[in-house]
Structure 1
Amino acid sequence: MQQRNVASCLIHGDLSYTHILYQDTISGIIDFGDACIGDPAYEFYRLYEDYGEEFVRLVYLYYKTNYPFPFDVTFYDQMQRYYRYHTVFHELLYAIQMRDKRNIKKRVTQYEELLYDNIGNPLKRIVFFCI
């Protein structure tokens, strides 16, 4: 995949439904332990994963309209073609670190499905040995 030339910004780094406090309206965001300067498409992918495409398009439009948010024609492509792999791989590495065999199997299956969907060929089973 070709590298994008994107303006980085401060991102939460782990913005998912588990870190958004919500009761009738958003009342807070918690857990800034992974905050960093990064690609906003990463942050939006986590929202895409949890809330769907329509929600992410509304949030993107809100930021683009109300804040100096860079317009990027490859933004959605970046979310869908790169960060979906990154997220599954990150979760796989975490499962390996925790030696969670059930979650390892789940994440390997997810990764295989992603790869299969994009290359159109069956893959050899990926085997991980957890010591």
Structure 2
Amino acid sequence: MELLTLTLRQRLLANGANRGDHVPVVKLFNPLGAATWLISECDGDGDTLFGLADLGFGCPELGCVSWAEIAAVRLPLGLRLARDLNFAARHPLSVYAAAARAQGHITERPHHLVRAAADLARARGSGRSRSPP
């Protein structure tokens, strides 16, 4: 399976050219472990991805990762990292990040995401939050 199709790459590059709080485009994961990435954009260099990373240690974080490094990962049994073909983001990356911070891991549970979205909206409305990542 191809981790990033041409269409996905184009969407990531378009998001990277227009900074903002984008909806994640792709979910990558380790089929043998806990590592998961929600990627929302790619810089013009074609290698620097931005998104939410959860390596399974209880502290998911927003940041950059190298596409070359992701593509080079080799796992036992001849496996590689995989793309969740059923992933369909319904919220901006900031909501996934807030829910992940609250849960200690990336979550797609609707009630966690709805709660995180409401908390972010309240915080932004009261001026307690910074602009989106």
TM-score relative to the length of structure 2: 0.28
TM-score relative to the length of structure 1: 0.28
Task: Using CA pairs under 8 Å that are at least 6 residues apart, name the structure with larger relative contact order, 1 or 2.
Answer: 2
Larger radius of gyration: 1
Higher strand share: 2
